[in-house]
Amino acid sequence: MRIIACSILAAIALSVALVMCFRWVPPPTSAVMLENRIANLFCEEPLTSTCYQWVDWESISPHLLLAVVAAEDQKFPDHRGFDLEAISEVLEKRKNADRMRGASTITQQVAKNLFLWSGRSYVRKGLEAYFTVLLEMLWPKRRILEVYVNIAEFGEGTYGVWAASKTLLKKDPASLTREDAALLAAVLPNPRRFKVTHPSSYVAYRQYWIERQMEQLGGAEYLRNL
Length of the chain: 226
pTM of the model: 0.90
Query: What is the per-residue pLDDT across 168-190, written as a single tens digit (0 to 9) for each?
Result: 999 999 999 999 999 999 999 89
Q: 159 phi and psi, to 5 degrees?
A: -115, 125
How many structural domains does the chain have?
1
Closest C-alpha to 142, from 58, 49, 86: 58
Domain that holds residue 53: 2-225
CATH of the domain at 96: 1.10.3810.10
* Calpha distance 9→213 (Å, rounded): 44
Query: What is the per-residue pLDDT across 61-96, written as a single tens digit (0 to 9) for each?
Result: 999 999 999 999 999 998 888 877 766 665 655 555
What is the average pLDDT across 202-211?
96
* pLDDT band for position 98 (cuts 50, 70, 90): very low
Looking at the DSSP bridge assignments, the partners of residue 116 are none
Looking at the DSSP bridge assignments, the partners of residue 155 are 158
- In order of 17, 34, 156, 189, the CA distances from 184 in angstroms are 32, 23, 13, 11
